[in-house]
Structure 1
């Protein structure tokens, strides 16, 4: 029956068999999950010659992850492989309904604002990824302010690495989330996201303090919350100044990447799904908050359309 249907589709449409199969698999995956709002992974990486983009998307399918933000790290390092905006763009164009490109630039360089504008306006990227410890800059260093102003002008979020880093040449000091506190005060119009939220660290307090500062859950949040029962629930229901709770400021992220493998998708999404919080909070954390920052419209069926 299935093969007959596939032959019929290829004869009556211009779509390739693989395109038809991918569409059918996506419909089946979503329908099998029921009426579940969109799940967006706000933090992943993909690199040339390391891993398969098809396997990457297949793992998203298996776990019911609708979209993922992908970004390179510039410059590449021996530990982190060969990443480039060009390859990110190539993969996003291959899976435009599943992957969302974030540009990565060296923010200290004079032409960084122009580079960012090119990737956003000409190639459709929807954000900026910066890694202060690896790129060797402090987030609150004024030399980086021109690229921040450009991100504000383009109305895109900036995802900053925070917390520990195990690359020998990286500077741990620049991963201090308190540096984002000063940045958010200097640029209240910027959409700032601190990656790798440690629920026992400073980032929840800083995100709760600033209307324009968010945090992603990649790696540390699920790890800590599984070690300490009730911690995740406490953080996500905590009242803060100016907003209802930190659930409005928290974004699901996995940091899935070729170095540590695709297992990070499951390691990061399942603990969030298992938290004893309301469905409304889960919807926000797993996708709605990210959709708002990325200017995506979530439909009733869990899909999305760009604004």
Structure 2
């Protein structure tokens, strides 16, 4: 059964070595990683953990810095990683949409280097909201034309507070999807609970091209979320960890504790991601 992790972060040895300097350069990075126990990982460490735990492939990206120059440097490192591990790692590009045309040019550059999407966007840390059409629409329009997905951080409107939670709640994502019905959107962290609104027929129509990754799921939900969600959005659930925040042993235990049917498990672990990343018309 193939396993594809849809949500991992890697950073260059330089960023990891000089963490203190980068903490000063980005407030959102500081809020997430000022604790020295907060793990950062290189591409080599990611692939080693994938090898150890039987993960076949992973979508990977850097950190969505507010500064476009830092985003570009992160993308350079990811480009090197997917060149070194072409059968294991799938690159997504980080950009700040507030950079306008420069962000689109950066995505174009990354696509030429073999990247297959954009993300993870961090609106709260990058200084915009998903409601700001003037910021997001140029990038999304371009991605629609190219048939490439956009992965964005989303979060729950209720529940416990945590570093990086943000304000990207279901109603905000819904408005974005309504504004861009042809865009392929991936909502991190189960879309903050948005999948359950797909039981409403009119909402399901609006969210037809919206997918949901399971990043950090054990920190947020009981494992029964997989069985509940599979009844509503089975083709749209994408196994993800938010590595290195969450390691593979715990993430896989959490999923398997749901005791899903084999077909559902295979779809979530990798089948849905394969169909999203390599649509039949492109193979």
- Quickly say closer, same or farther: Cα 1:275–1:138, change in 2 above 3 A: same
- Quickly say closer, same or farther: Cα 1:207–1:89, change in 2 above 3 A: farther
Question: Which residue of structure 2 lines up, in the alignment, with residue 235 of structure 1?
Answer: 229
**Cα distance in structure 1, aligned partners of 2:117 and 2:251:** 22
Q: TM-score, normalised by structure 1?
A: 0.71
User: 1:273-292 to 2 correspondence within 5 Å?
Assistant: 273-292=256-275
Question: Which residue of structure 2 lines up, in the alignment, with residue 46 of structure 1?
Answer: 10
Q: TM-score, normalised by structure 2?
A: 0.77
Q: Deviations over 1:181-204 (max 9, x none)?
A: 011111111000110127xx5321
User: 1:9-158 to 2 correspondence within 5 Å?
Assistant: 36=1, 38-49=2-13, 50=16, 51-75=41-65, 84-111=74-101, 112-120=103-111, 122-129=112-119, 130-143=121-134, 144-158=136-150
Partner SS, residue 188 of structure 1: coil
**Cα distance in structure 1, aligned partners of 2:72 and 2:109:** 21
Question: Which residue of structure 2 lines up, in the alignment, with residue 294 of structure 1?
Answer: 277
Name which one, 1 or 2, has greater alpha-carbon Rg: 1
Q: Deviations over 1:274-294 (max 9, x none)?
A: 322211111111111111111
- Return the offset for 1:125: 0.3
Hey, which of these two has a bigger chunk of helix by percent?
A: 2
**Cα distance in structure 1, aligned partners of 2:93 and 2:267:** 25
Question: Which residue of structure 2 lines up, in the alignment, with residue 161 of structure 1?
Answer: 153
Runs of 4+ deviating beyond 6 Å:
none
**Cα distance in structure 2, aligned partners of 1:266 and 1:73:** 23
Give the count of matched residue pairs: 241
**Cα distance in structure 1, aligned partners of 2:73 and 2:242:** 15
1:268 aligns with 2:251: yes
Partner SS, residue 114 of structure 1: helix
**Cα distance in structure 2, aligned partners of 1:64 and 1:217:** 18
Partner SS, residue 139 of structure 1: coil
Could you tell me whether the CA contact under 8 Å between 1:252 and 1:286 is conserved in 2?
yes
- Quickly say closer, same or farther: Cα 1:188–1:282, change in 2 above 3 A: same
- Superposition RMSD in Å: 2.6
Could you tell me whether the CA contact under 8 Å between 1:252 and 1:269 is conserved in 2?
no
Question: Which residue of structure 1 lines up, in the alignment, with residue 237 of structure 2?
Answer: 250
- Quickly say closer, same or farther: Cα 1:76–1:147, change in 2 above 3 A: closer
Q: Deviations over 1:125-184 (max 9, x none)?
A: 0010011111121112112100001111111111010117855xx6822x2232110111
Question: Which residue of structure 2 lines up, in the alignment, with residue 181 of structure 1?
Answer: 174
**Cα distance in structure 2, aligned partners of 1:76 and 1:160:** 14
Question: Which residue of structure 1 lines up, in the alignment, with residue 214 of structure 2?
Answer: 217
Partner SS, residue 242 of structure 2: coil
1:197 aligns with 2:174: no
